């Protein structure tokens, strides 16, 4: 289990365990239809515009990519999918999807529109309960499938989905807030996952796979699902301002895990309990993010404080929000306390990534105090958290894929040693309870090599809790931890 500190840089320096469930890798995420047809199964009847689930299936034939499937108009209605079929995905991504011919893939706007239309047309809905006969609908902000954050692309996708929903007379789209959730509406969520030939972990994506899921908050069941492959052009993975500014990323955040597990569910599945139980907190977080990004930190702080009081309030976004909002209004002690809580969450979950921006090809932090000014606070709270929990740590540096491998190995080790030294300076007992290692660019999270805000998590220092005996042995035999 890993605790990670990210060495990000806005224009400079240079991922690890994939985020849960990291669809393109650990879960082998692709369109279910591609998985079924690549295994020689016939696609059920219907088009992306949504035909009846009971229509006759076309003759069986082999479809070699999600792109060909989409062009054939044969993404099956979500209600046709079974759990077994939808989860047999590990080898279904074709080796060359989108690599040679982007024209075979749908443009982003077309893919989103068709996927949303299919989702609404094929949803297996109970009888409407309101006098209007329409279904109340909210959209829980969509996420990037690689990192779990909101990006420019997911915001754009969400806006297009909302347009489709507003044109559909069966649905009454409401804001994603606590008042709307009181009525137990349908909740739409989803993600956009980058795909690469052969499930590679590095390089520019050659396609994106869009997932849309419809959950019924009243019955606790998945009632709709749709997927669509789309072109890379126009898909901007840059994190939105709140996520760009958030200092910490926790892979095993239980609320984030609940969102991901719900995204991978199929029609008829029970909605992940963690997701259902976190909906009200997530709505407050969404309002807080909106206020923060609009330059209203006091209002954002009020939303995060309300979210923190809920059972699902112990989550990364809430603690990051409390930190950012308190820092923005000059409440330094409260900001440090919030940072300490997210550190504690990461240590409890066994993984923590903190964005430390280094100068290019250097172990020196970015000189602008607006960027690196809070770092002493961050290091102090991480070191103190490790001491209080009596945790021994392996400190592993990482870089993005750009640059020569040998240089990346040396740079990642040097940065790990720099951060280790700062931890020891803050808490001397960590001198024999930490060991440094360089992993170079062999374990990316994002892997594009963009070296900007979109792949900041690839430039990090990772802290992995270990048995203290192993760390002590590393001090006695430095070769044991490698480089």
Longest dimension (CA), the chain: 74
Query: What 3-state DSSP class applies to 100?
Result: coil
Residue 337: Cβ within 10 Å count = 15
Residue in the block written with tokens 């000059």:
330
Residue 212: Cβ within 10 Å count = 26
Separation CA 119–CA 121 (nearest Å): 6
Residue in the block written with tokens 């515009």:
49
Q: Which of 76-90, 274-288, 377-391, 435-449 has the highest mean pLDDT?
A: 274-288
Average pLDDT, the chain: 78
Asked if 412 and 16 count as a contact pair (C-beta separation under 8 A), the reply is no
Residue in the block written with tokens 């520019």:
204
Which tens digit of pLDDT belongs to each residue from 407-437?
Answer: 999 999 999 999 999 999 999 999 999 989 9
Average pLDDT over residues 210-227: 94
Per-residue pLDDT, 246: 94
Average pLDDT over residues 455-467: 76
Contacts of 182 (CB under 8 A, 6+ apart): none
pLDDT band at 357 (very low <50, low <70, confident <90, very high): confident
Residue 261: name the closest of 3, 23, 16, 79 by CA.
23
Tell me the two tokens of residue 99: 């690599």
Contacts of 378 (CB under 8 A, 6+ apart): 247, 339, 354, 356
pLDDT band at 133 (very low <50, low <70, confident <90, very high): confident
| Percentage of the chain lying above the pLDDT 90 cut | 48
What b/e sequence results for 285-302 when a residue is b if at least 16 CB atoms lie within 10 Å of its CB, and e otherwise? bbbbbbbbeeebbeebbb
Per-residue pLDDT, 102: 67
Q: Is 327 left (phi over 0), alpha (psi -120 to 50) or beta?
A: alpha
Separation CA 239–CA 450 (nearest Å): 13
pLDDT at 182 over 60: yes
**Beta strands of 45-139 (E only): which ranges?**
135-139
Domain with CATH 3.30.1330.60 in the chain: 3-17+351-481
pLDDT band at 228 (very low <50, low <70, confident <90, very high): confident
Separation CA 287–CA 300 (nearest Å): 7
pLDDT at 405 over 70: yes
Question: Could you tell me which CATH class the domain 3-17+351-481 is placed in?
Answer: alpha beta
Per-residue pLDDT, 479: 58
What b/e sequence results for 232-245 when a residue is b if at least 16 CB atoms lie within 10 Å of its CB, and e otherwise? beebebbbbbbbbb
φ, ψ at 249 (rounded to 5°):
-130, 125
> pLDDT: is 116 or 79 the higher one?
116
Asked if 228 and 114 count as a contact pair (C-beta separation under 8 A), the reply is yes
DSSP assignment, residue 441?
T
pLDDT band at 198 (very low <50, low <70, confident <90, very high): low
Query: What 3-state DSSP class applies to 466?
Result: strand
């Amino acid at each position: 289990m890993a605790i990670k500190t990210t060495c990000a840089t806005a224009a400079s320096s240079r991922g690890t365990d994939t985020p849960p469930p990291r669809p393109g890798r650990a879960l082998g995420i692709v369109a279910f239809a591609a998985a079924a047809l690549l295994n020689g199964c016939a696609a059920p009847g219907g088009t992306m515009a949504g035909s009846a689930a009971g229509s006759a299936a076309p003759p069986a034939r082999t479809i070699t990519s999600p792109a060909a499937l989409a062009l054939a108009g044969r993404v099956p209605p979500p209600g046709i999918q079974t759990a077994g079929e939808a989860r047999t995905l590990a080898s279904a991504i074709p080796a060359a999807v989108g690599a040679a011919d982007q024209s075979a893939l749908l443009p982003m706007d077309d893919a989103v529109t068709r996927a949303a239309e299919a989702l609404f047309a094929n949803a297996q809905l109970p009888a409407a309960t309101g006098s209007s006969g329409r279904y109340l609908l909210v959209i829980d902000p969509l996420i990037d499938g690689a990192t779990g954050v909101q990006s420019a692309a997911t915001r754009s996708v969400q806006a297009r989905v909302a347009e489709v929903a507003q044109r559909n007379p069966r649905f009454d789209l409401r804001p994603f807030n606590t008042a709307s959730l009181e009525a137990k509406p349908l909740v739409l969520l989803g993600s956009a996952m980058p795909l690469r030939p052969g499930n590679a972990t590095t390089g520019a994506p050659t396609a994106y796979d869009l997932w849309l899921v419809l959950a019924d908050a009243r019955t606790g069941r998945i009632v709709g699902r749709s997927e669509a492959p789309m072109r890379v052009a126009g898909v901007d993975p840059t994190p939105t301002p709140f996520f760009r500014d958030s200092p910490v990323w926790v892979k095993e955040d239980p609320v984030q895990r609940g969102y991901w597990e719900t995204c991978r569910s199929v029609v008829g599945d029970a909605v992940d309990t963690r997701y259902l139980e976190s909906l009200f907190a997530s709505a407050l977080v969404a309002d807080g993010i909106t206020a923060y990004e609009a330059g209203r930190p006091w209002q954002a702080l009020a939303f995060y404080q309300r979210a923190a009081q809920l059972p699902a309030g112990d989550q990364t976004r809430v603690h990051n929000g409390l930190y950012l909002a308190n820092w923005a209004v000059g409440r330094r002690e409260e900001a440090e306390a919030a940072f300490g809580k997210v550190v504690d969450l990461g240590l409890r979950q066994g993984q923590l990534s903190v964005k430390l921006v280094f100068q290019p090809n250097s172990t020196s932090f970015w000189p602008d105090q607006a960027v690196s000014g809070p770092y002493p606070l961050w290091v102090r709270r991480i070191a103190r958290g490790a001491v209080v929990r009596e945790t021994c740590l392996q400190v592993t540096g990482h870089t993005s894929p750009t640059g020569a491998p040998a240089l990346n190995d040396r740079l990642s080790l040097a940065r790990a040693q720099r951060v280790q030294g700062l931890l020891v300076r803050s808490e001397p007992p960590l001198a024999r309870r930490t060991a440094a290692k360089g992993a170079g660019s062999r374990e990316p999270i994002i892997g594009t090599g963009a070296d900007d805000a979109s792949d900041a998590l690839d430039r990090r220092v990772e802290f992995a809790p270990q048995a203290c005996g192993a760390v002590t042995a590393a001090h006695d035999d430095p070769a044991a931890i490698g480089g």
